[in-house]
Amino acid sequence: MNATGYQPASLPDTREGWADYFGGFARVVLVANSDAVEIASLASRHGEGTLFVFFNKVFKVLDAPFERPSLLAARSSAAGANIVYRREVDDVLRLLRGEHFHGILNLSAGDREAFSPAKDFCGARVGYLDLTPVFVGFYPQTHVPTSGFALAFWLAEACPALPIVLAGFTARRSEAWKLFHDHEWTFEQIVNRLLVRSGRLTMDGGSGGSRWDRIAGRVPGITATDVALVSAEVLSERLEGTNIVVDRLLSLTRLQGRFSGFLRSLKPKTRKQKLAEKSAAGPPGKS
């Protein structure tokens, strides 16, 4: 069984195969690339039978080789796996490769994302997982799911008996790391917290909304539903106030924005930009 530390000779390439693989562990901890993750403390809180899943640039959370059972989820783009496209495979694997490393899950969650061939992963064991169909008609069409959200949501559905822990899933910017606008962070946080409340996921190092529960527990006659409705009203008012300020800032910086856009237009197009333009010109479909 996987929970004993056994590493399969090969990794799956179907959703069914991956569900069986993950289901062999006592629990799965998904580790976000976040300042909220303290890897030594995280590893000490989750014992034998745990699989730790890292994402792409693991050097954001690891500063030494990781000595527990682990898997790397390498997200794809139109140009192939991001760590391959950016030539970061060696930098990532030096922190994971060892007797406890199970290999690389090349993950796709958007219909224009292409897998990279196994030979591009520097000898690591590789499997493929396409979650694009899982989010059709569910995830906002203007964005694509983050790797962590895609894997967590799918696991919650595919392996309902498997304990799944989200470590560092805060969706907050930091001084070191940014959030990308091609993901719908608010939608993902809402879904994650609903799954936490239902018991299908566990948060470690992120907010589960417990401060709102404390209000309902302290004030007589107030329910969690009352708190949620009033919170939505307050947040809506604050957001409208923020929008007014943003509009003023945009009017003041419009000229600078045009100049910045002109300078960016002079830069040579990247491979990703060329692929995006080619895809936009042709019929939609998997790259």
Q: pLDDT tens-digit profile of 30-79?
A: 999 988 889 999 999 999 999 999 999 999 899 999 999 999 999 999 99
The CA radius of gyration of the chain, in Å to the nearest whole number, is 21
Read off the pLDDT of each residue in 14-31 and give the average, rounded to a whole number: 98
Among 6-15, 63-72, 207-216, name the one with the lowest average pLDDT: 207-216
Q: Is the pLDDT of residue 153 over 80?
A: yes
Read off the pLDDT of each residue in 157-175 and give the average, rounded to a whole number: 83
Strand, helix or coil for residue 284 = coil
- The pair of structure tokens assigned to 91 is 């930098």
Q: Is the pLDDT of residue 208 over 60?
A: no
**In what helix (H) or strand (E) does residue 133 lie, and over which residues does it extend?**
none
* Confidence band of 174 (pLDDT split at 50, 70, 90): very low
At residue 71, φ and ψ (nearest 5 deg) are: -140, 145
Query: Which pLDDT score is estimated for 71?
Result: 98
Q: Report d(CA 222, CA 224) in Å as an integer.
A: 7
- The pair of structure tokens assigned to 208 is 């589960």
Percent of the chain scoring above 70 in pLDDT: 85
Rounded to two decimals, what is the model's pTM? 0.79
* Confidence band of 132 (pLDDT split at 50, 70, 90): very high
Q: With 0-12 CB in 10 A as exposed, 13-18 as middle and 19+ as buried, what is 110?
A: buried
Partners of 127 in beta bridges: 105
Query: Which pLDDT score is estimated for 178?
Result: 47
List, for residues 247-274, the tens digit of each pLDDT value: 888 888 888 877 787 777 777 877 666 6
Query: Which pLDDT score is estimated for 136?
Result: 96
